């Protein structure tokens, strides 16, 4: 019996030794390069085909199943009309949907070009990124939206990181000043919308625009930008979240800072967890932690 045990121990020891000597299989990361190559080609093609229009690519027009949508929203398909998502015409299907520089998504295309350039070192992408970033220069004077972080930090913010020049800092600071102009100290938040029946609407999306203020604070050494970003984040934290940490889309405030109402403007209903808004919150508070360690 003892001899048998010795043989088993010896066998196990040899097996472990042989296993430890084997070289682990090399991980195949070629799929990453392929993904980058495809994305870069698509971005270059879009940049070339849209060049000269003064517009930017926003999305591809696709149809959707109205019956499926109504089942998800628990609505009657005979009476429900989704005015925010009008069906594209047959001629539009599969074609690009373009937007102007004042659209809230306008910074995403130049931002994508900058990221693709950063990952590939392709100078064609850099040239196109500069072209479409410069297209957004008028936004520095625009005061009619809270989405300035989306628009300018994605474009000029990445330009400052990857190809800095003497003009970018001024654009970012002017834009940050306009965003700060929408901040109400009594309420402790940046106003989101200038339409609707709300008194002072703040949407969870606004958390995504704070990066612009953090970046300008670091660039200028002026803490007012960071202070406003933190105050907005704290006010939002105090009022936007339910006990299960899902968030409302819209919280509107009275002039004294008390809450006027809470609702969802784009999700299923006021009590639903709107997936896109929840993602804004996750990103925004991650950014706030990165900048404050709080």
The residues annotated with a catalytic role in the active site are 147, 205
Dist CA 164 CA 158 (whole Å)? 9
Q: Which residues, 6+ apart, have CB-to-CB distance to 163 below 8 Å? A: 126, 129, 130
* CA neighbours closer than 13 Å in the CB half-sphere of residue 117: 21
Cα–Cα distance measured from residue 176 to residue 218, given in angstroms and rounded to the nearest whole number: 12
Q: Is 22 exposed, middle or buried (0-12, 13-18, 19+ CB in 10 A)?
A: exposed
DSSP 133-144: HHTTGGGGG--S
Q: Which helix (H) or strand (E) element contains residue 60? A: strand 56-60
If one counts every other C-beta atom within 10 angstroms of the C-beta of residue 1, the result is 5
Return the closest-CA partner of residue 70 out of 268, 206, 248. Answer: 268
């Amino acid at each position: 019996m003892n001899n048998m045990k010795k043989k088993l121990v010896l066998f196990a020891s040899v097996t472990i030794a042989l296993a430890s000597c084997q070289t682990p299989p090399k991980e195949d990361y070629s799929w990453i390069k392929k993904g980058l190559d495809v994305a870069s080609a698509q971005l270059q093609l879009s940049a070339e085909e849209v060049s000269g229009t003064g517009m930017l690519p926003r999305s591809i027009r696709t149809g959707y199943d109205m019956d499926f949508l109504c089942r998800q929203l628990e609505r009657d398909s005979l009476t429900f009309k989704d005015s925010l998502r009008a069906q594209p015409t047959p001629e539009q299907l599969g074609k690009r949907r373009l937007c102007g520089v004042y659209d809230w998504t306008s910074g995403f295309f130049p931002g994508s070009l900058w990221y693709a350039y950063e990952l590939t070192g392709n100078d064609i992408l850099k040239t196109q990124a500069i072209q479409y970033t410069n297209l957004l220069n008028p936004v520095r004077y625009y005061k009619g939206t809270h989405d300035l972080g989306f628009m300018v930090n994605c474009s000029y913010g990445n330009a400052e990181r990857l190809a800095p020049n003497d003009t970018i800092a001024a654009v970012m600071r002017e834009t940050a000043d306009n965003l700060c102009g929408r901040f109400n100290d009594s309420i402790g938040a940046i106003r989101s919308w200038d339409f609707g029946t709300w008194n002072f609407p703040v949407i969870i999306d606004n958390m995504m625009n704070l990066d612009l203020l953090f970046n300008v604070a670091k660039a200028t050494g002026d803490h007012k930008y960071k202070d406003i970003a933190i105050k907005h984040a704290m006010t939002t934290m105090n009022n936007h979240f339910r006990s299960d940490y899902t968030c409302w889309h819209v919280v509107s405030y009275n002039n004294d800072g008390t809450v006027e109402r809470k609702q969802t403007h784009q999700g299923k209903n006021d009590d639903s967890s709107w997936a896109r808004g929840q993602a804004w919150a996750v990103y925004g508070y991650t950014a706030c932690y990165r900048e404050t360690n709080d």
